[in-house]
Structure 1
Amino acid sequence: MANNGIGDRVVDNGFESLHEHADGEHELEQNDKKLKEEEVSVERVFQHKVVPSWRNQLTLRAFAVSLALSILFSFIVMKLNLTTGIIPSLNVSAGLLGFFFLKTWTKFLEKSGMLRQPFTRQENTVIQTCVVASSGIAFSGGFGSYLFGMSKRVADQTSESSDFKNPKLGWMIAFLFVVSFLGLFSVVPLRKIMIIDFKLTYPSGTATAHLINSFHTPQGAKLAKKQVKVLGKFFSFSFLWGFFQWFYTATDQCGFQAFPSLGLKAYHNKFYFDFSATYIGVGMICPYIINISVLLGGILSWGLMWPLIENKEGDWYPKDLGDGSLHGIQGYRVFISIGMILGDGLYNFFKVIIHTFFGLYTHVRDKRRENVLPVDDQDSSLSLKLSYDDQRRIELFLKDQIPTWFAIGGYVAIAAISVSTLPHIFPQLKWYYILVIYLTAPTLAFCNAYGCGLTDWSLASTYGNIAIFTIGAWAGSSHGGVLAGLAACGVMMNIVSTASDLSQDFKTGYLTLASPRSMFVSQIIGTTMGCVVSPCVFWIFYNAFPDLGTVTSEYPAPYALVFRNIAILGVEGFKTLPKNCLLLCYVLFGSAILINLIKDLLGKRGRFIPVPMAMAIPFYIGPYFAIDMCVGSLILFVWEKINKAKADAFGPAVASGLICGDGIWTLPASILALAGIKPPICMKFLSRATNERVDAFLGS
Structure 2
Amino acid sequence: MLLDLGRWIQKHKRRWFPSNQNSALIEFSFTAIVIGLLIGCLLCFTNLYFGLQTGFISMMSLQSALIGFLVSRMLPTPLTPQEIILVQTTATATGTMPLAAGFVGIIPALGLIDPERDGSPPIHLTWVAGIGWSCAVAFFGVFLSPPIRKQVIIEEELAFPSGTATAQLISVLHKLPPPDTTLRRRNGYEAVADEENTEIRPARETTPLTELEAPSTAGWHELSWSFVASGILTLAAYFLPVIFAIPIFGNYLAREWAWFFTPSLSYVGQGIIMGFPTTLSMNMGMLVGWGILSPIAKFSGWAPGPVGDMTSGSRGWILWVSLAIMCADSLISLLPVAWEFVVDAAHRMRHGSLSQSEGKDDGEIESADRLVPGRWVIVGWCVSVLVGMILVWIVFGHEGMKPAATFAGYVIGGLLSVLAVRALGETDINPVSGLGKISQLFFAWIQPGNIVANIIAGGVAEAGAQQAGDLMQDLKTGHLCGASPRAQFYGQLIGSVVSIFVTTTAYSLYTRVYPIPGPSFPAPTAYVWLSFARLLRDGQLPENSYIFMVVFAIVFALIAAVKFHAAKKQVWWAKWIPSGVAFAIGFLNTPSFSIARLIGGVLEHIFRARYAKNGGDIRLIVVASGFVLGEGVTSIVSLILKALGVGVASCWGCGETGICGGCST
TM bracket (short chain): 0.7 to 0.9
Counterpart for residue 431 of structure 2 = 459
Contact in 1 for aligned 2:298/2:313 (Cα 8 Å): no
Output the TM-score relative to the length of structure 2: 0.83
1:208 equivalent to 2:166? Answer yes
2:375 aligned residue: 405
Matched-pair contact (CA < 8 Å) for 1:187–1:442: no
Question: Residues 338 and 562 of structure 1 are in contact (CA less than 8 Å); yes or no, is this contact kept in structure 2?
Answer: yes
Q: Which residue of 2 aligns with 1:68?
A: 38
Cα distance in 2, alignment partners of residues 634 and 675 from structure 1 = 39
Instruction: Name 1:571's counterpart in structure 2.
Output: 537
Aligned partner of 1:45 in structure 2 is none
The one-letter amino acid paired with 2:30 is L
Matched-pair contact (CA < 8 Å) for 1:256–1:683: no
Q: CA deviation at 1:159?
A: 4.7
Q: Aligned pair in 2 of structure 1 residues 336, 667: CA closer, same or farther (>3 Å)?
A: same
Q: Deviations over 1:28-79 (max 9, x none)?
A: xxxxxxxxxxxxxxxxxxxxxx999211222222222222212210111112
Q: Give 1:83's aligned residue.
A: 53
1:314-463 equivalent positions in 2, closer than 5 A: 316=302, 324=309, 326-357=311-342, 394-396=364-366, 400-427=370-397, 428-463=400-435
After TM superposition, the structure 1 stretch with the greater mean CA deviation from structure 2, 180-189 or 326-335, is 326-335
Does residue 527 of structure 2 align to residue 558 of structure 1?
no
Residue of structure 2 equivalent to 1:244: 236
Distance in 1 (CA, whole Å) between partners of 2:489 and 2:270 is 29
Following TM superposition, by how much is the alpha carbon of 1:545 offset from its aligned partner in structure 2, in angstroms?
A: 1.5
Match for residue 306 of structure 1?
294
SS in 1 for 2:530: helix
Q: Would the aligned equivalents of 2:413 and 2:460 in 1 still touch at CA under 8 Å?
A: no
Q: Which residue of 2 aligns with 1:94?
A: 64
Residue 229 of structure 1 aligns with an amino acid whose one-letter code is H
State how far apart, in whole Å, the 1-side matches of 2:501 and 2:276 are.
35
Q: Tell me which moved more, 611-620 or 636-645.
A: 636-645
1:622 aligns with 2:590: yes
Shift of 1:238: 0.9
Q: Which has the higher helix share?
A: 1
**In the alignment, structure 1 residue 234 sits paired with structure 2 residue 226:** yes
Structure 1 partner of 2:480: 511
Aligned partner of 1:185 among 143, 146, 166: 143
Residues 528-539 of structure 1 aligned to structure 2 (within 5 Å): 528-539=497-508
Deviations 1:182-205 (A, max 9, x none): 112223223222222211221111
Q: What's the secondary structure of 2:521's corresponding residue?
A: coil
Q: Which segments of 5 or more consecutive residues in structure 1 lack a partner in the other structure?
A: 1-49, 108-117, 250-254, 383-389, 692-700
Question: Is 1:199 aligned to residue 157 of structure 2?
Answer: yes
Three-state SS of the structure 2 residue aligned to 1:579 is: coil
Using a 3 Å threshold, how does the CA distance of structure 1 residues 414 and 368 change in structure 2: closer, same or farther?
closer
Are 1:293 and 1:615, in contact at CA under 8 Å, matched by a contact in 2?
yes
What code does the residue aligned with 1:461 have?
A: S
How far is the alpha carbon of 1:473 from its aligned partner?
Answer: 4.1
Q: Equivalents in 2 of 1:678, 1:227: separation in Å?
A: 36
Structure 1 residue aligned with 2:446:
474
Q: Which amino acid aligns with 2:148?
A: L
Number of aligned residue pairs: 597
The answer to whether the 8 Å contact 2:213/2:617 transfers is no
Q: Match of 2:208?
A: none
- Partner Cα distance (1:322, 1:505) in 2: 42
- Paired with 1:404 and 1:51, the residues of 2 have a C-alpha distance of 19
**Higher Cα Rg: structure 1 or 2?**
1
Q: Percent same amino acid at aligned positions? A: 24
CA distance in 2, matches of 1:369, 1:79: 46
Structural RMSD (CA)? 3.0
Give me the whole-angstrom Cα distance separating, in 1, the residues matched to 2:102 and 2:582: 19
1:284 aligned onto 2:284: no
- Alpha-carbon separation, structure 2, partners of 1:242 and 1:670: 12
Quick one: which of 245, 256, 267 aligns to 1:258? 245
In structure 2, what is the equivalent of residue 636 of structure 1? 604
Matches of 1:325 and 1:396 in 2, distance apart? 52
Taking the aligned partners of 2:483 and 2:213, their CA distance within structure 1 comes to: 19
| 1:126 paired residue among 86, 104, 108 | 86
Give 1:221 shift. Answer: 8.2
Matches within 5 A, 1:42-191: 53-106=23-76, 119-151=79-111, 154-155=112-113, 159-160=117-118, 162-191=120-149
Matched to 2:31, the amino acid is R
Shift of 1:618: 2.8
Measured after TM superposition, the shift of residue 670 of structure 1 is 0.3
SS in 1 for 2:618: helix
- The residue type paired with residue 236 of structure 2 is F
Counterparts of 2:33 and 2:127 in 1: how far apart (Å)? 24
For the 8 Å contact 1:261–1:272, the answer to whether it is kept is yes
- In the alignment, is the contact (CA less than 8 A) between 2:24 and 2:369 conserved in 1? no
Contact in 2 for aligned 1:201/1:454 (Cα 8 Å): yes
| 2:334–2:423 Cα contact (<8 Å) kept | no
Greater shift, 537-546 or 126-135, is seen at 537-546
Contact 2:132 2:391 (C-alpha < 8 Å) held by counterparts: no
- Measure, in 1, the Cα distance between the counterparts of 2:357 and 2:234: 62
Distance 2:349 2:624 in 1: 43
**8 Å CA contact retained: 2:248, 2:261:** yes
